[in-house]
Amino acid sequence: MIPGFSTPRLRALGSWIVGSLVAVICAALLFAWSGLYNIAASSGHLAMTRAFLEFGMRNSVRTQSAMIEAPALDDDVDRVRLGAGHYQGGCAPCHGAPGEPVNPIAEHMLPPPPTLAPHVKSWQDKHLFWIVKHGMKYTGMPAWASQNRDDEVWAVVAFLRRLPDLTPEEYRDLAYGNASAQRRPVTALLSSGSDTPDIAACAKCHGTKSAGPTSNLVPRLAGQSEPYLAQALRDYADNSRQSGIMEPIAAELDEQTVKAVAAYYAGLRRNQDPRPEPSLTGEHDAGEKIARDGVADEAIPSCLSCHGENAAERYPRLAGQPQRYLALQLRLFRSGVRANTGQARTMAAIAKRMSDRQIEQVSAYFGSLRSFSLQPDERDAALTAPEKQGANQ
């Protein structure tokens, strides 16, 4: 027993504390019930409230991201370009971009979404990663649409690192990629009623008739089969294929547009975009062996049995896809991220049998190819024939 504190006095103190707590809770409920607190975004915060909220926010981000290990991002062009493409559609409407003002609607949120360039430097990579991946309560900042695609979040972080130094022109080149030439003024948008799909949203990152993908983390769609492309968009739209970048885009497409986009890319000639002859990197020969024969002892079938020219159209053709993209996708299959559709389950079962080395080998092989059979050349010949005739006349 502490001297001076008899049991009755302790009891009295306890009652006083409990009574006060009840009074405070009642007062808070009464205040909320009365509606006297003004929740209007237009009224802003008191300077003191703002300082307190920011203090809490900064510390929360630091503590919550303490265990994250950041990969080396230094000027990773593939990541920067992919991140830029997503930033333009997913972030710029609220945060603005070099040469592009913030939308006035977003400007009137509370807190108003900050222009990021001046703030980026005050955060480490892992802090930015945490914010982009998880979003922030009470601010309107959403979490990443696919919580198991950290690779995509890092791409945005890589871009954010570059953001403060970008001129409007540099930003446009990065963010609009292959679509930069096709930007049209608002008046053109108003008068457009054309029935051909505007593929600017795709071409930002993927490719066009005359250009390849902007990043090695982005697949080449030209000449891929129509059923495969359409199915990929449907899988993104119903969240059975995971991507914080593709899901929001695919979710906006109706079935007619899905088919039109798939038809557009299926109609392009494969591997005709100008690009340097891919160098034979890594263990290209070992990759070719796996692609052609598989590894029977490890129950890995040959890649070409489903991804060759004669395979069913539901499977993608891999020749000429960027090595980095292929290796990334194989790892997503292997870790079970890409295993939610019947077809992905088939591939995931194979990828689980592959070592890191085998993944790099087959990716190097397919990445080094432009085309691997007579068939696409024949098709190319058929497509180019009329032009030649025209030249002869």
Partner 1 sequence: MRFLRTCPALIATAVILSGCGGDQSVLSPFSDNARTVNVLSNVLFIGGFLILAVVIVLAGLAAFGGAHLRRRLAGENAVVIGGLVFPLVTLTPLLLYGYALLGAGPNPLDGQRPLKVTVIGEQWWWRVIYTDSKGDSFESANELRIPVGRPVKLSLTTADVIHSFWVPNLAGKVDMIPGRTNTLTLSADTPGVFRGQCAEYCGGAHALMAFKVVALPAKEFATWLDVEQSQAREPRSQVEREGLELFLANGCGGCHSIRGTAARGTAGPDLTHVGGRKSLAAGVLPNTAESIARWIRDNQEIKPENRMLPYRSLEPGELSAISSYLSSLR
Point out which residues bind partner 1 (CB under 8 A). Answer: 294-297, 299-302, 305-306, 310-312, 314-315, 341-343, 345-346, 349-350
Tokens of 136: 């922030």
Nearer to partner 1, 124 or 343 (CB): 343
Cβ-contact 280, 367 below 8 angstroms: no
Nearer to partner 1, 133 or 307 (CB): 307
Question: d(Cα 173, Cα 78) in Å, to the nearest integer?
Answer: 14
Query: Taking the complex as a whole, how short is the minimal distance between the CB of residue 54 and partner 1, in angstroms?
Result: 50
Query: Taking the complex as a whole, how short is the minimal distance between the CB of residue 261 and partner 1, in angstroms?
Result: 21
> For residue 218, what is the DSSP state?
S
Query: Taking the complex as a whole, how short is the minimal distance between the CB of residue 237 and partner 1, in angstroms?
Result: 17
Cβ-contact 85, 214 below 8 angstroms: yes
Nearer to partner 1, 225 or 271 (CB): 225
DSSP state letters, 253-275: --HHHHHHHHHHHHHSPTT-S--
Residue 204, class by beta-carbon neighbours within 10 Å (0-12 exposed, 13-18 middle, 19+ buried)?
buried
CB within 8 A of 133, min separation 6: which ones?
Answer: 143, 144, 147, 150, 153
Question: d(Cα 92, Cα 178) in Å, to the nearest integer?
Answer: 18
Nearer to partner 1, 191 or 310 (CB): 310
Query: Taking the complex as a whole, how short is the minimal distance between the CB of residue 318 and partner 1, in angstroms?
Result: 13
Cβ-contact 45, 110 below 8 angstroms: yes
- Helix and strand numbers, DSSP H then E, in the chain: 20, 0
Residue 380, class by beta-carbon neighbours within 10 Å (0-12 exposed, 13-18 middle, 19+ buried)?
middle
Query: Taking the complex as a whole, how short is the minimal distance between the CB of residue 305 and partner 1, in angstroms?
Result: 3
Q: How far is CA 313 from CA 272, 375, 383, in A?
A: 21, 14, 20
3-state secondary structure of 237: helix
Query: Taking the complex as a whole, how short is the minimal distance between the CB of residue 151 and partner 1, in angstroms?
Result: 25
Query: Helices 77-90 & 150-162, crossing angle to 10 degrees?
Result: 90
Query: Taking the complex as a whole, how short is the minimal distance between the CB of residue 331 and partner 1, in angstroms?
Result: 18
Tokens 């980026």 correspond to 120
3-state secondary structure of 74: coil
Looking from the CA of 147 toward its CB, the CA atoms found within 13 Å total 4
Cβ-contact 271, 368 below 8 angstroms: no
Cβ-contact 217, 82 below 8 angstroms: yes
Nearer to partner 1, 180 or 343 (CB): 343
3-state secondary structure of 331: helix
Torsion over CA of 98, 100, 105 and 109, rounded to 10 degrees?
A: 0
Query: Taking the complex as a whole, how short is the minimal distance between the CB of residue 370 and partner 1, in angstroms?
Result: 23
